[in-house]
A and B are shown apart, each in its own frame.
Chain A
Amino acid sequence: MSETIQVPTMAEMMAAGKAPEVLFWVGCSGSFDDRAKKITKAFVKLLNKAKVDFAVLGTEESCTGDPAKRAGNEMLFQMQAMTNIEVLNGYEIKKIVTACPHCFNTIKNEYPSLGGTYEVVHHTQFLKSLLEDGRLTVEGGKFKGKRITFHDPCYLGRANDVYEAPRELIQKLDAELVEMKSCKKRGLCCGAGGAQMFKEPEKGNKDVNIERTEQAIETKPEIIAAGCPFCNTMLTDGVKGKDKEGVIEVMDVAELIANAEDL
């Protein structure tokens, strides 16, 4: 790696008497999961490149409580939420960006009534605005003409009606965006939501991620683009399950942009 990445923490910022433009909420996946860590880094590189004044919470960040809430443990969720809100409010955070649609949804929609109100954006929305403001430029060269299909994360799409930001980014790469038979409002889940990520599926005749991967494969893509670390894992497993490794890559939209820029 040529250059080292700059990742200031809120504690450091505070000590220096500074307040960042935006807080990057990394999330548990982005912090600990090997595949997701690559997405985190790709996004940070883009933030560095665009000279975004950002910070992370680092060791002061904790699970948003999403998997607990969706599993039915409202008590644990609210404990997590209130702990996080205390930290966020302590730093007087105004704006948050995250690469995880679950964190995005939870902080944006479920924190306000518990005392935590922030402007929350998904990293695809944030990248889109960086491009629009001319703070980041992207050349499509590498991905020109490649067939890319985008899998809508439930918690970004249906849950929050964000369908266009990730698609616009893919189109900026001069790639050929192909849609699966169920997409956008009717997008099929990857199978990980609602805390399913952490358990074996119930008895059935197929795994959800295989069903979804088959739909993706029908579009004959070179790349399946995702916007969620959990979807990424599920679809990567799906592609392996269908013996398409090496033929189809599963990549986060941030990785696509960072790759196009040779970061």
Chain B
Amino acid sequence: MNYIPQILFAIVLLLGIGYFAKNINKLVRNIKLGKKVDRTDKKGERWANMARIALGQQKMVVRPIAGFLHIIVYVGFIIINIEVLEIIIDGLFGTHRVFATLGLGAAYDILIGSFEILAFLVLVSVIVFWLRRNIIKLKRFFYPEMKGWPKNDGNIILYFEMVLMILFLTMNGADFTLQQMGADHYVQAGAFPVSQFLVPLFEGLNEGTLIIIERTAWWLHIIGILVFLNYLYFSKHLHILLAFPNTWFANLEPKGQFENLESVTKEVKLMMDPDADPFAAPAEGEMEEEPEKFGASDVMDLNQVQLLNAYTCTECGRCTSECPASQTGKKLSPRKIMMDTRDRLEEVGKNIDKNGKFEDDGKQLLDDYITREELWACTTCNACVEACPVSINPLSIIMDMRRYLVMEQSAAPTELNNMMGNVENNGAPWPYNQMDRLNWKNE
């Protein structure tokens, strides 16, 4: 027996998975640059959310056409992965269609038959997706942040999926033809409702050529899958994995509830406590703490869930298309907030790869990526949060950056400073006297 293909296969598999694991490590390291946040309460609700939103695709179908097509591609990918399992076993042990030889009988036919139908539906869906992006030119794929890499990325994924599906069907078609010829090693197994139509293409080819075609498609298919796996880290397609943890860690409180900063609570309590002595020296042995930075000007100031959000974003733009600011031509696009956060986080990550630890590069998320104009255009309406199919919260990042601008830099727009001055002095955002608060009663 010739072991070379098996050894080769094992090497390819190891390389593919190894490189992927390395990048996942990097991803985890980068996410951990963020602040810790406790999102482990109400576990039951979290599992349920993950099941509903990530596994059940509940939010995708809010837009029925895209939602339906997406479910096909998604189900197709998950189920066809059972076939990948067979391919891996075959590859490692030199078997052929090992599941068929396990005596699954008719079940195997059903299995392969449904893979084929799914593969065909995936192919059709992916073509429709491609048309939506490139011919129909759906508006949400054409915002300024979608130029260059994000645009190509979207299409590369579609091409990948097309090629993988075509390879899968070609492999089956050739296999089926070989089975009919009674070729050695090619067990009579499987039903081929789609690839049977490819059989005429193979007419007149001899057994040797067919085996080459079948083997080539088989190898390219599995290598393609491994390349795809490794492509994820560089792509918005990471969502196929991260949607799960991301929905699990999502905020469970009412959307209107913004977190109260604990560091601020401490200070306010001290300020309002008549017994506190602001000039008191820290107690013996207690170190003078460095005051905590309020809000966020860079990715390290955000929390880990926000950074996970950034890696999970699929750049679908559902958030942006529902955003009132974006709809009325303002610069703000919640999708861009997420993409900028990821880009900056990647930049910081590369900096660490190179220097061993983060060396100041004179850049930050604020201004170098996200402008103040964008931040101030947000109405905090939560439409983006509601729209996101994978439970991302762009608003929380906007809020943290506003906090930095206001509390660390006193850089609010003048009108807002006036408003805040009024709240501070008269207890209302307008310059009215608090003593007049009940005047309406007698007017």
Contacts and interface: CB of A to CB of B under 8 A. Distances in A.
A, B co-complexed: yes
A222 to B, nearest CB: 25
A62 B427 contact: yes
Nearest to B376: A202
B437 interface: yes
A14 interface: no
A73 B419 CA distance: 11
A159 B268 CA distance: 26
B413 interface: yes
B9 interface: no
B288 interface: no
A28 interface: yes
Given A68-B423, A203-B373, A189 B379 contact: yes
B92 interface: no
A109 B254 contact: yes
Residue in A73, A195, A199 whose Cβ sees the most chain B Cβ within 10 Å:
A73
Given A67-B429, A72-B406, A202-B377, A37 B324 contact: no
Contact size class for B?
35 or more
Interface stretch (A15-23, A76-84, A129-137, A248-256): A76-84
Contacts of B427: 28, 61-63, 80
B386 interface: yes
A186 B437 contact: no
Contact of A195 (B269, B416, B428, B434): B416
A198 B268 contact: no
Interface in B287-327: 294-295, 322, 324-325, 327
B402 A72 contact: yes
Contacts of B272: 79, 82-83
Contacts of A186: 322, 383, 386-387
B432 interface: yes
Interface string B428-443: 1110101111111101
Q: By DSSP majority rule, is chain B's interface helix, strand, loop, or mixed?
A: helix
B424 interface: yes
B200 interface: no
A71 B257 contact: no
Contacts of A192: 379
A188 B255 CA distance: 15
A198 B260 contact: no
A78 B380 contact: no
A69 interface: yes
Residue in A68, A114, A182 whose Cβ sees the most chain B Cβ within 10 Å:
A68
A204 B271 CA distance: 41
A225 B330 CA distance: 27
Contacts of B329: 203-206
Contacts of B255: 158-160
B403 interface: yes
Given A201-B330, A202-B325, A41 B268 contact: no
Contacts of A259: none
B405 interface: yes
Given A73-B406, A105-B256, 4 more contacts: A72-B403, A76-B423, A110-B258, A206-B329
Interface of B: 253-258, 260-261, 264-265, 267-269, 271-272, 294-295, 322, 324-325, 327-332, 373, 376-383, 385-387, 399, 402-407, 412-413, 415-416, 418-420, 423-424, 427-430, 432, 434-441, 443
21 contacts: A31-B437, A31-B440, A32-B440, A59-B436, A71-B416, A74-B260, A75-B407, A76-B423, A109-B257, A155-B256, A158-B256, A159-B255, A159-B257, A160-B255, A189-B383, A192-B379, A196-B379, A204-B328, A206-B329, A208-B327, A211-B328
